[in-house]
Amino acid sequence: MKRGMTGTYERASAADESFDAFVPASLPPDPPLVIDADLQGCLDRAHVALGRLDSITVFLPDTSTFLHSYVRKEAVLSSQIEGNRSTLDDLLLFEVEAASGVPLDDVREVSCYVEALEVGMTRLREGFPLSTRLFHEMHGRLLAHGRGAGKAPGEYRRTQNWIGGARPSKAAFIPPPPQRVDELMGALENFLNDFPQRYSPLTKAALAHVQFETIHPYLDGNGRLGRLLIPMIFVREGVLAKPLLYVSLYLKRHRKTYYDLLQSTRLDGDWEEWLRFFGVAVESAARQAVAEVKDLNALGAADRERIRSLGRVASSCLHVYDAMFARPVSRIGDIATLTKQSNNTVVRMLEHLQTLHIVEEVTGYRRNRVYRYPRFLEILSREED
């Protein structure tokens, strides 16, 4: 339904130019959403996929093991949408202080994304609402290091920003003037907390994401924080027990459509078309997450069975294997700490795992060696719709 422009323009200035900045109307959409049978079917399929994803976590031997790796996959994909070049391997090697040959700022940015999500989820468990206070704390972590560190981490912007182009006159989109940010984010906070009315978690996440990206409340990191908001809403609303749902892979693969729909929603007011796209993205992400969790579980079961054939060393070797399953790129010392075994024992067990072609050493060093679990990482790094 094309309602027309979902906001107004206000004159603003920056970089010695005057221009029209877009100020969005508060949510919910007016006139209200029109959910026809086709759109309802799309949303129903997304809800079913979310339910399956949430239910599968009940059968996981250790949800935190999968969550550790999934958070890092999402961090990489969300950052890649912004042009970051780091890979999952780069991030995991950086975290064990073994990164080399990659742009350090890129991998630091991805690492900060992981920290931002982790602090966000901690605060939700502590009972924090989705609020300015929470956004600021997450944003402070998101921009703690790397190229955005000098762009007011943890504070709403006090200057004009724009999207695309070196100057406002060349921009693809100009968000609202800085003096309107507090008011607009306050209204968004109300919507997230069911005022003036409650929406389903899926619809709430879809509408809130567009609104956050339109307000663009920070000088940097808006895209990444706006995508972080999606799993946080699902967890806050009780749809998911753990944030195992990430849509960044779908958005990366359909980047042009994603950006085009954000803009057309602002200008044409067709919230239903955006909601349809978002529903498909959520369904795709949930289905892929379920498939990957099943494949990782199957991989773990098969490799553990192979390890049991080793005889008397199998017990110690399984402890080391479980450490690699939890952290698929690890140093000897970290594995020793996790398994409470000596470094020498860990080295011997890793040699057995290498003989079975389960792990591989990646540094070539005699000391401070790092091992990776390649088949685990191959499953986690799949990019399939």
Q: What is the pLDDT of residues 172-186, one digit of tens each?
A: 999 999 999 999 999
Who has greater pLDDT, 258 or 56?
258
3-state secondary structure of 277: helix
pLDDT for the residue numbered 364: 81
Looking at CATH, the fold of the domain delimited by 309-380 is given as: Arc Repressor Mutant, subunit A (1.10.10)
The answer to whether domain 49-291 and domain 309-380 are alike in fold is no
Residue 122 burial (CB count, 10 A): 11
pLDDT for the residue numbered 70: 81
pLDDT band at residue 269 under the 50/70/90 scheme:
very high
Give the pLDDT mean for 46-53: 96
Q: Against a cut of 0.85, is the pTM above it?
A: yes
The alpha carbon dihedral of 301, 306, 312, 314 has a sign of negative
**Amino acid (1-letter code) at residue 259:** Y
Residue 383 burial (CB count, 10 A): 10
Token match 């070049």: residue?
85
At residue 346, what are phi and psi to the nearest 5 degrees?
-60, -45
Rounded Cα gap, residues 73 and 70, in angstroms: 5
Our measurement of the distance from residue 83's CA atom to the centroid of its chain's CA atoms, rounded to an integer in Å, reads 15
Give the pLDDT mean for 309-322: 96
Report the CATH superfamily, name and number, of domain 49-291: Fido-like domain (1.10.3290.10)
Q: Are strands 360-361 and 329-331 parallel, antiparallel or unpaired?
A: unpaired
Q: What is the pLDDT of residues 98-111, one digit of tens each?
A: 555 555 667 888 88
Give the pLDDT mean for 214-241: 95
pLDDT band at residue 314 under the 50/70/90 scheme:
very high
At residue 23, what are phi and psi to the nearest 5 degrees?
-115, 110
**Amino acid (1-letter code) at residue 93:** L
Give the pLDDT mean for 34-60: 92
pLDDT band at residue 75 under the 50/70/90 scheme:
confident
**DSSP states along 28-52:** SPSSPP---HHHHHHHHHHHHHHHH
Which uninterrupted H or E stretch holds 361? strand 360-361
Q: What is the pLDDT of residues 238-253, one digit of tens each?
A: 999 988 888 998 999 9
Residue 114, beta-bridge partner list: none
Q: In the predicted model, is pLDDT for residue 202 greater than 70? A: yes
Q: What mean pLDDT, rounded, does the chain reach? A: 92
Rounded Cα gap, residues 294 and 290, in angstroms: 6
pLDDT for the residue numbered 119: 95
Nearest to 226 by CA among 198, 254, 206: 206
Rounded Cα gap, residues 66 and 60, in angstroms: 9
Cβ atoms of 174 and 168 within 8 Å: the answer is: yes
pLDDT for the residue numbered 100: 54
Nearest to 175 by CA among 184, 163, 187: 163
Q: In the predicted model, is pLDDT for residue 46 greater than 70? A: yes
Q: What is the pLDDT of residues 328-371, one digit of tens each?
A: 999 999 999 999 999 999 999 999 999 999 999 998 877 778 99
In the chain, where the domains are located:
49-291, 309-380
Residue 260 burial (CB count, 10 A): 12
